[in-house]
Every structure is written in C-alpha cells, then in structure tokens.
C-alpha cells in the first residue's frame, strides 16, 4: 500500500532525527535594518562553506513568484499594513515550501537572512496583533538558532542615513504619516526594535551586540554555532513537514540526501 502523506512526513522526521548532529540546521539572522546582520550572515556562510557544509541562503521577500508582486506595490506605495503582511506571508510560505524545507530535509544548512520574526516585528510595529500573525504564519518550521543583532534605534538610524534615504515602507511612512523619511524611520525603527526585544525574550534568541567590532561578532557566532551542533530536533517541526508533504504532492517522492 502506498505511503500516506502523514506516514511519509513521520518517516522523514524520523530520518532527520536519526542524522543527529549531521542533520541540516536552520539558522536565522534577525535584527533591524542597519544592524549589520547581512554582513554577519555573509561571513558566517563563507565560514560554514569553508568547513565543508552544504549551505543554502534564503533572504527576506525574495521568492521568484511573489517578490515582483510586492516590489511593484511598494514602489507604488499602494499597500496597507494588512496587505503588506499577507503578501509577505505568501512570499515566506512559498520560500519555506520550495527552498527552506526541501534543503533541510536533504541535510543542508539553511542560513536565513531574516525569518518569521522580521514579519512579527514589522507587522506588530504597524499595529497588527501578534497573536493573529502567529496564527497565520503557522504551521512553522522553527529555526534551530536565531541570532538577534541588537542595536539602538539611534545606531540603526545613523547607519542607514550614512548610506541612503530610507525607502517609504522601510521608514514606516505608511503608518507614521511623516513626510520626512529620516524622521519617520527614527520613530518607526524604535517600534520595530521594541517588538524585536520582546520577541527575543519570548523565543529565546541569542542576542549579539551589533555595536561590537564586526570580527568579534563573527567569532562569537562561530563559537555559539559550534556549541549548538548537538541541538535536538524539535518535535513540533513535524507539523510543518506534514503540511509541506500535503501541500506539494509532487514532493512526496523526496529522497533525503546524504
């Protein structure tokens, strides 16, 4: 008899667990704009690859299917917080199903430049309810590690202002109604950082002082990663794997890579 989606999902989870410390990990780099997380993500990815890991990177709002839709609407400044949220949720779900979960099932390391928590922080800062956001983003594949790059709103603002004018949605001008993008950014990023700080406590992020020297941060991330290689598989990810198997029937013939 053919294996049902639930049976397949269970088998996949068991096979992932059996891999022990050789299983792929999902490592999220989170933090406000200007926190330097992308620099750290790049350094970390290079180091991981040098250590022999097969690494996949996924960036926020980057799916080939939904990214162009979001980009057009952002340029037109035509979306409200709810549409902003739902479109990013679509992009996230698509990447989770097409890029992230398949890579993890094959034992690859997935380095996420922003993950769920970006949506939670930004959307909550736009006035949406955290409880609603968590519901609509479920079922989730929870990251094994979340590095949170903590900076003050002032530092974030200074770093952004040094290189460019914040974009309309980045500055939160859709919700602040402030015409000066720098002033809007200053106010909006404060809200975003408040949300991030609360999430860091709730979800036990590893907080990195993003105002420390770049290489010191990188060495710390390496050390924390090496210490966490024994991290056990989280059972609640089974729901996300089951959903993935159900949603994409053609992926049922999946073979776990070595």
Q: Report which of 185, 96, 84 is spatially closest to residue 143, judged by C-alpha positions.
A: 96
To the nearest whole angstrom, how small is the minimum distance from the Cβ of residue 70 to other proteins? Answer: 10
- Kindly tell me which residue out of 18, 20, 22, 69 binds other proteins, with binding defined by CB under 8 A: 69
Cβ distance to other proteins smaller for residue 100 or 128? 128
* Binding window for other proteins (CB under 8 A); candidates: 17-25, 114-122, 130-138, 200-208: 130-138
Residue 198 touching other proteins (CB under 8 A): no
Query: Taking phi first (over 0 means left), then psi (-120 to 50 degrees means alpha), and beta for anything else, what does residue 77 get?
Result: left
DSSP assignment of 155-187: HHHHHHHHH-PPPTTTTTHHHH--S-HHHHHHH
To the nearest whole angstrom, how small is the minimum distance from the Cβ of residue 79 to other proteins? Answer: 8
| 142-180 as b/e: b if 16+ CB within 10 A | ebbbbbbbbbebebbbebbeeeeebeebbbbbbbbebee
To the nearest whole angstrom, how small is the minimum distance from the Cβ of residue 105 to other proteins? Answer: 16
- Kindly tell me which residue out of 10, 11, 98, 167 binds other proteins, with binding defined by CB under 8 A: 98
- Kindly tell me which residue out of 135, 163, 179, 201 binds other proteins, with binding defined by CB under 8 A: 135
Token pair in block for residue 64: 């080939």
* Binding window for other proteins (CB under 8 A); candidates: 51-59, 125-133, 151-159, 200-208: 125-133
Residue 83 touching other proteins (CB under 8 A): yes
- Kindly tell me which residue out of 97, 123, 170, 238 binds other proteins, with binding defined by CB under 8 A: 97
- Kindly tell me which residue out of 248, 252, 254, 256 binds other proteins, with binding defined by CB under 8 A: 248
Extended beta strands in the chain, E state: 26-30, 55-59, 109-113, 145-150, 206-209
To the nearest whole angstrom, how small is the minimum distance from the Cβ of residue 119 to other proteins? Answer: 12
Dihedrals phi, psi of 223, to nearest 5 degrees: -60, -45
Residue at token pair 């406000």? 32
To the nearest whole angstrom, how small is the minimum distance from the Cβ of residue 88 to other proteins? Answer: 9
At residue 134's C-alpha, the angle toward residues 129 and 135, to 5°, is 100
C-alpha span between 19 and 100 (Å, rounded): 18
- Kindly tell me which residue out of 18, 46, 49, 68 binds other proteins, with binding defined by CB under 8 A: 68
- Interacting residues toward other proteins by CB under 8 A: 63-66, 68-69, 72, 79-80, 82-83, 86-87, 89-90, 93-94, 97-98, 128-129, 132, 135-136, 138, 243, 246-248
């Amino acid at each position: 008899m053919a294996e049902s989606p639930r049976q397949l999902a269970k088998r996949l989870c068991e096979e992932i667990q059996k891999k022990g410390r050789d299983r792929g990990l999902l490592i999220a780099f989170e933090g406000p704009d200007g926190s330097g997380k992308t620099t750290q993500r790049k350094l970390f990815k290079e180091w991981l690859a040098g250590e022999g890991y097969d690494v996949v990177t996924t960036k926020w709002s980057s799916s080939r299917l939904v990214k162009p839709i979001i980009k057009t609407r952002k340029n037109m400044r035509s979306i409200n917080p709810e549409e902003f949220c739902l479109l990013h949720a679509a992009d996230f779900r698509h990447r989770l199903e097409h890029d992230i979960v398949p890579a993890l099932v094959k034992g690859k390391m997935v380095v996420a430049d922003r993950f769920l928590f970006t949506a939670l922080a930004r959307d909550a800062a736009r006035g949406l309810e955290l409880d609603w956001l968590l519901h609509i983003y479920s079922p989730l594949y929870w990251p094994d590690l979340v590095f949170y790059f903590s900076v003050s709103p002032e530092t974030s603002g200074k770093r952004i202002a040094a290189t460019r004018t914040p974009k309309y949605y980045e500055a939160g001008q859709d919700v602040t109604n402030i015409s000066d993008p720098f002033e809007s950014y200053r106010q909006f990023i404060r809200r975003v950082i408040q949300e991030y700080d609360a999430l860091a406590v709730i979800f036990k992020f590893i907080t990195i002082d993003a105002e420390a020297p770049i290489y010191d941060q990188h060495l710390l991330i390496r050390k924390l990663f090496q210490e966490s290689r024994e991290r056990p598989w989280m059972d609640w990810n089974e729901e996300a794997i089951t959903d993935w198997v159900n949603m994409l029937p053609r992926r049922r013939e999946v073979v776990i890579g070595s």
